[in-house]
A = this chain, B = another copy of it.
Amino acid sequence: MEQSRPLDMLNRARNNTVLVDLKNGLRYVGKLQAFDIHINVVLEEAEEHKDGELKRKLGNVFIRGDTIITISPA
């Protein structure tokens, strides 16, 4: 049996809503449209949250991979 790799999970999450938590405390919630090996990520219909509060609604957002801590399905 072939062993799974971390990017397989991101692949399965495509077009689904994910939570992206950043090193600066911000959380982005949106539909995972794209990612790459640097874990650069693009979300659609994204929301920016801080301390549990909605701060901004964004259409699409590109998030630079080196700012990300975790990505998890909503």
* Interface members, chain A 54-74 (any B CB < 8 Å): 58-73
Determine whether the beta carbon of B59 is less than 8 Å from that of A6: no
Q: Which of A24, A28, A60, A64 has the largest number of chain B CB atoms within 10 A? A: A64
How many chain A residues sit at the interface, stated as a range, is 35 or more
Please determine whether B40 and A3 come into contact, CB atoms closer than 8 angstroms.
no
Task: Report chain B residues within 8 Å CB of A42.
Answer: 4, 6, 8-9
Among B36, B61, B71, the residue within 8 A (CB) of A71 is: B61
Residues of B within 8 A of A23 (CB): 24, 67
A68 to B67, CA, bound (A): 9
Contacts of A7 in B (CB 8 A): 36, 40
